[in-house]
Structure 1
Amino acid sequence: MKQLLRKGLLFAAASLALSIQMKADKGMWLLNELTKENIAQMKGLGFRLPIDSLYSLDKPSVANSVVIFGRGCTGVTVSGKGLVFTNHHCGFDAIQSQSSVDHDYLRDGFVSQSFQEELPIEGLTVSYLSSITDVTKQVLSGVKKPKDELDRLSQIQKICQQIEVTELRRHKGDHKRVEVRPYYSNNKYYLLTYDVFPDVRLVFAPPGSVGKFGGDTDNWMWPRHTGDFSVFRVYAGKDNQPAEYSKENVPFQPKYFATISTEGYEKGDFAMTIGFPGSTSRYIPSFAIENRMKDQNEPRIEVRGIKQAIWSKAMNADQATRIKYASKYARSSNYWKNSIGMNKALVKLDVLGQKRVEEAAFEMWANEGGKRTKQYQGILSEMEAAYKILGGLQREAMYLNEAFNGAEIIALAYGLKDVTYKDMQSNGEKIRSGIEDVYKDYIPTLDEEVLPAMLDVVRLRVSRDRIAPIFDLIDKEYGGDTKAYAKDLFVKSIVPYKEKVLAAAQRPDFAEVLANDPAYKLSQLVRGILSPLQLAMKPLTEPIQRGNRLYFAGRKEMNPSQPMPSDANSTMRMSYGSIKGYSPADAVTYDYFTTTRGLLEKYTPGSPEFDILPSFLDLVREGSWGRWADKDGKLHIAFISNNDITGGNSGSPVFDKNGRVFGLAFDGNWEAMSGDIEFEHQLQRTIVVDIRYVLFAIDVWGRCPRLIEELSLR
């Protein structure tokens, strides 16, 4: 019986491994690690370029055109004058920063008709990868008899920091970012160097009703009709090197810029993304997935749903509020809806069942290996035991973090602890500027509505003993009425009001004023609750960190021929696949592209999500697409492929078989929100805005031929 069980488990695990190998579309691959198998699969799907034309840091290549846009997106350089295409939602903060009630670029779009009209965006950067070096031996050889996994990781962190310092000194220049990043569950390390350009300017943005068409309703959905793009330009000093903003700076001349394809595409055509995906967890065990669903996603879904409902009502009622909160709402809502979809998809696709088969086979292999596999024996049991204790603590921590970040006044108050009277006297202008920036998108009356809602959900979901310091006060002095507490706090506190904060910061007794402020006291109570909770969770991460590293290494040893691309970690990756539709359910089949017909079908006058700016709507109704039409005579808006992407890939160029850009990736589909944990090749799709729709908006709606003339169109 035992032998039959063993054969059954190993067969099931082998079948899973084989199915993974057969899926050429799975994988976020490191370009410097592409294998013969990768290249053969790419060529089998239609790819035509020599590999050194795809990726080389020594000579111009397609990958050189791809950039980190801002702090969490991707972009692509598309002209010899530093023009960068990315998503509208990636440029959203920048567009918002330049918007006002009189110049509402979020609503009306933005078009610059000359270099002089391009708007500098303070704080925005574009980064180009300039080198990548394997430093695994250097890192691991420096680890000396660690007490446990946390000590091991602490030593590695110090070694990596020293490597980064040494490398930065070697470059002897500003505007370099150097970092050592872990790969393959902390089994390998690379040193990466970036050239960081801090002078980035807004060039073009479509109307919000184009760039964000469909809003939250269509987010993560297909079919899609969103023109999710924006255009920026990278500027450099006259030596073509990164430089802080100056009127004397000139457009950057890149090593390589991508060609644009306007040929269109067919079902089955090759599609490749290159970008900087943020984070995946493809190799975690089943109980870690349960922790993600129950103890992380569920609190996030509940708390953000409450907060966003309050924000949304206020935004829909007032244009100025909408402008101020648009970016914050979009960031919050995106991950909120992702968490909802992930939980549903993980259940529907039985990812937990698949993982348990893998785990059972691994444990059997490890136990039967004797001394050879001793280091892998029992690691899953140790991890599971740690997660059982960690889960309850993490669930409460998530509720507390989500709620008390949702009430902005708490973060504002806590941030003021670093402002001192002495610093105001010596560096007042800089501090004032920072305070102005923090408060420019904050509305106290709206936050006063949010705070009691956040307190109510915390009272409901977190153990009374843990939150007693806060609620003893509310119950005693306000009869448990969180709205009455919030109203009194906003009356008595200086924290919600920029002018009061700036005035108080000029006083010698500012520290005392702040210490007695009710909002600051609340922030300290919150900190006092969270700190011991975080300390309690820390030792539980030791067997989890150790287990993840060894589980990956052991699975690789168990199945050495199985492709196991490293989890995403915000470094450059490529994915290859094909354009294709999908069938999410019986009798339901989705085509692989959308057109303006669907846009008009969804159009709803007055809707905050499905309205269309009249000047753009008129062009769509007119139907004169010119050279941007497909060979079918229609203007295509978006298409889907089975490329493997995640957050951070937003704005990633989608390249055709000849290395030409024919779209910008901007989303995934609802049915496969489990993709960060397991790629489902039958369902998972990347949603891409058709580059011809981008060019139509620039050329026909924006009447901006100067940008079209910059591009290399083929």
Structure 2
Amino acid sequence: MKLVRLLFIFLSFPLFAQQGGMWIPSLLEGMNETEMTNLGMKMTAKDIYDVNNASLKDAVPHFNGGCTSEVISNQGLLLTNHHCGYSQIQSHSTLENDYLENGFWAKSLKEELPNPGVTASFMVRIEDVTTKVLNGITNAMTEAEKLKTIEANIANVVQTSPKEAWQENRVRTFYEGNQYMLFVVETFKDVRLVGTPPSSIGKFGSDTDNWIWPRHTGDFALFRIYADKNNRPAPYSENNVPYNPKHFLPISLDGVAENDFTLVFGYPGTTDEYLPAIAIEQVINTINPARIAIRDAALAIQDKYMRADPQIKIQYASKFARIANYWKKWKGETLGLTKSNAVGIKKQQESALISEINKKGKQQQYGNILPQFEQYYSEIQPYALAREYYLETVIRNVELLRIAYQTYQLKQVYEERGEQSFMDRKNNLVEGAQGHYKDYNQQVDKEVFEALMDLYAKGVPQQFLPASFKNLNAAELTENVYKNSAFVDYASLKNLLEGNAEAVLAKLNNDPGYKVVAELANTYFEKVAPKYEELDLKISGLERDYMKALLELSPKDARIFPNANSTLRVTYGKVAGYSPADAIYYEPVTHLEGVMQKYVPGDYEFDVPKKLRDLYQAKDYGQYGENGKMPVNFIGTNHTTGGNSGSPAIDAHGNLIGLNFDRVWEGTMSDYYYDPSLSRNIMVDIRYVLFIMDKYAGATNLIEELKLVHPKKENKKNRKK
């Protein structure tokens, strides 16, 4: 195959082919709208995004900055994933009143539970501000100078762009700095827990089934947005009232079938679809193995204690789920990248691009990009490895170190901003740490500390290790820290932080836990971070130029979508099964029968509540079953990632048919490379959600709020007319 032909495949996929994509909703008219129509969509682009009229965007808020949710009633009822609301469910749970174990259903507004700090943010308007942000940028500038100018321009756009008093302006970059968009958002700060199934439904399969298909998980929870008397955002108050949305999603009872159109609307977090081959090789061979090894160790220890002690299970349920989620994702990602030959395909694409650059006489502008990628990624590799070890150990997986690091930051605050700033930050730390120690177990953390200190000493390149780590006795260090450090309980921490800055810092310098963090952090910030940031800035500049080359040299109908960046996006596709290996084909829909096949009495991952078993035996599915079976989950070709958790799955007519919550394991590499044969997103069938609410929980008060429709039946009736 000729290189030019390869380039055409890379830059301009055949029209209507499913090759992924996370599209900006304000820019759907044209190619995207045509493609969606050909896939079966009956809506228009304006039905999805419209500034002047209610549209789908007005029913899809960002949930607490990390997940997506959807409004499903005219009283602000909010649907998202069980795992997105897991921390809130856990925070309301006790041994006596365990909502993780038993579920929770408010029978009235008065019973709904407030969640301080939880937010729901709606996107009001999107505007292209590229010209304003890039004003004053010249080729003669260094990357640092360009960055400084861009940051100043963004600050000006945020400050001067029109908005209402209760709204906020945000600017985000697209296409690696070749485009900038302004988002006007409004954030509601009174979001209350309304209902959740028990974890045996909402988290069925737990970590064993995470990222796996076939799946049988009722991963949903219900919240409600409250507003002030003017229907505007307001802090929590007993006087607030349920929010009246501009639009809420009707719910289809007609279900899904293979090849049905699906649209997933949400806030995907981060993707890197346009990384060069050498970067993908680094992920496969260096970065992911380090991440996985560290979390392997931490998870094994937590799991051992959680299985033995119900109190520890409650304390660590949310933490374990958070750590395990990306641990398993990274394993599947490596598998998928290898299986799909992502590195080889990207190398072919790069060869094709070089050919096109030469053909168009663009060598001076773009000819050095790929050789420079090779140089900078080779240089950054040891720094990137050391960085991952530091982040995974100090910031993410050892609780004592994470708290100690916050006190390390106190010292920096004092040196840079003085006594008052120190005291303010210290008081906030003391107040916030109380919640941390509620869910802290010293023995669990002690074992994690020892295991990860040993891995750190063995895995970090020698030139980036603190002196004391070069002949480390991890057991001896652990015993000293957990016997003598004040970071092992809340009372000791409070005592440690009593006094003015000088007194606190003196005590900190004598604390063995603080000494470990200070030594690790000082070494990292002196030997790793500066060079990593220098090289990363150079790579970012190359990525911008690389993206510019792709945009400039591609045909007009090229399907080049921007990487995810936690802004509102549309991804569309179809309900579809897939074949992960030879002689294996997975159907696109699972049923309650599969839950019963996996049922293990008393098992924390696969137990099934008696009432659900009884409903299954009686086949008592109400109006939610289909042909004597109860659908549970389904998969589609929608291109999703972290942040799309809780995203609505919407049918061709704009009705809710499901709730996105995961991807298949073989397709988790779609953050770097979307393979249409393997990449599938996993959704809860909305009928299973309704079945659990109605038949299992008896939450008929919530069912009555909803607008239930039959679009397929209505269309069939209209065709007959």
Say yes or no: TM over 0.5: yes
Q: Is the 8 A contact 1:268 1:580 kept in 2?
A: yes
Q: Does 2:530 match 1:526?
A: no
Q: Does 2:267 match 1:276?
A: yes
- The alignment partner of 1:232 has SS state of strand
* Compared CA separation, residues 377 and 423, structure 1 to 2 (3 A): closer
- The alignment partner of 2:635 has SS state of strand
Match of residue 3 from structure 1:
none
Match of residue 479 from structure 2:
487
Match of residue 466 from structure 1:
464
**Which deviations, in whole Å up to 9, do the C-alpha atoms of 1:391-433 show, x marking residues without a partner?**
1221122122212232211111121343999789889986543
Distance of 2:694 and 2:390 partners within structure 1 = 48
Q: Is the 8 A contact 1:25 1:577 kept in 2?
A: no
Q: Is the 8 A contact 1:325 1:441 kept in 2?
A: yes
Residue identity opposite 1:448 in structure 2:
K
Q: Which residue, 660, 665, 688 being the options, matches 1:665?
A: 660
Q: Does 2:228 match 1:233?
A: no
Q: Is the 8 A contact 1:148 1:542 kept in 2?
A: no
Match of residue 686 from structure 2:
691
Match of residue 656 from structure 1:
651
Distance of 1:13 and 1:61 partners within structure 2 = 37
Match of residue 513 from structure 1:
507
Q: Does 2:114 match 1:120?
A: yes
Match of residue 325 from structure 2:
334
- The alignment partner of 1:711 has SS state of coil
- The alignment partner of 1:710 has SS state of coil
Distance of 1:145 and 1:466 partners within structure 2 = 35
Match of residue 353 from structure 1:
344
Match of residue 550 from structure 1:
545
Distance of 1:424 and 1:347 partners within structure 2 = 49
Distance of 2:204 and 2:2 partners within structure 1 = 50
Distance of 1:182 and 1:199 partners within structure 2 = 29
Q: Does 2:134 match 1:135?
A: no
Q: Does 2:109 match 1:109?
A: no
Q: 1:491 deviation in Å?
A: 1.4
Distance of 1:77 and 1:135 partners within structure 2 = 29
Q: Does 2:580 match 1:588?
A: no
Which stretches in structure 1 are left out of the alignment for 5+ residues?
1-6
Q: Is the 8 A contact 1:121 1:201 kept in 2?
A: yes
Distance of 1:663 and 1:424 partners within structure 2 = 48
**Which deviations, in whole Å up to 9, do the C-alpha atoms of 1:539-571 show, x marking residues without a partner?**
212431122111111122222331101111111
Q: 1:27 deviation in Å?
A: 1.1
Match of residue 573 from structure 1:
569
* Compared CA separation, residues 21 and 555, structure 1 to 2 (3 A): farther
- The alignment partner of 1:11 has SS state of helix
Q: 1:297 deviation in Å?
A: 1.3
Q: Which residue, 374, 383, 397 being the options, matches 1:384?
A: 374
Q: Which residue, 235, 239, 245 being the options, matches 2:236?
A: 245
For the aligned residue pairs, the C-alpha RMSD in angstroms reads: 2.0
Distance of 2:654 and 2:164 partners within structure 1 = 34
Q: 1:195 deviation in Å?
A: 0.6
Q: Is the 8 A contact 2:265 2:647 kept in 1?
A: yes
Q: Is the 8 A contact 2:270 2:671 kept in 1?
A: yes
Q: 1:457 deviation in Å?
A: 0.5
Match of residue 500 from structure 1:
492
Using the size of structure 2 for normalisation, the TM-score is: 0.93
Match of residue 66 from structure 1:
60
Distance of 2:129 and 2:331 partners within structure 1 = 39
Q: Is the 8 A contact 1:404 1:454 kept in 2?
A: no
- The alignment partner of 2:134 has SS state of helix
Q: Does 2:288 match 1:294?
A: no
Q: Which residue, 578, 591, 595 being the options, matches 1:599?
A: 595
- The alignment partner of 1:57 has SS state of coil
Match of residue 355 from structure 2:
364
Match of residue 388 from structure 2:
398
Identity among equivalent pairs (%): 36
Distance of 2:494 and 2:687 partners within structure 1 = 49
Residue identity opposite 1:671 in structure 2:
E
Q: Is the 8 A contact 2:169 2:184 kept in 1?
A: yes
Q: Does 2:77 match 1:83?
A: yes
Distance of 1:254 and 1:213 partners within structure 2 = 32
Q: Which residue, 195, 201, 204 being the options, matches 2:192?
A: 201
Q: 1:296 deviation in Å?
A: 2.1
Return 237-246 or 50-59, whichever deviates more: 50-59
Return 401-410 or 518-527, whichever deviates more: 401-410
* Compared CA separation, residues 261 and 468, structure 1 to 2 (3 A): same
Q: Is the 8 A contact 2:43 2:654 kept in 1?
A: yes
Distance of 2:109 and 2:136 partners within structure 1 = 51
Q: Is the 8 A contact 2:394 2:405 kept in 1?
A: no
Q: Does 2:559 match 1:563?
A: yes
Q: 1:536 deviation in Å?
A: 1.4
- The alignment partner of 1:245 has SS state of coil
Q: Which residue, 274, 287, 303 being the options, matches 2:294?
A: 303
Q: 1:458 deviation in Å?
A: 1.1
Match of residue 437 from structure 2:
439
Q: Does 2:691 match 1:700?
A: no
Distance of 1:450 and 1:50 partners within structure 2 = 53
Residue identity opposite 1:592 in structure 2:
P
* Compared CA separation, residues 314 and 518, structure 1 to 2 (3 A): same
- The alignment partner of 2:251 has SS state of coil
User: How many pairs align?
Assistant: 697
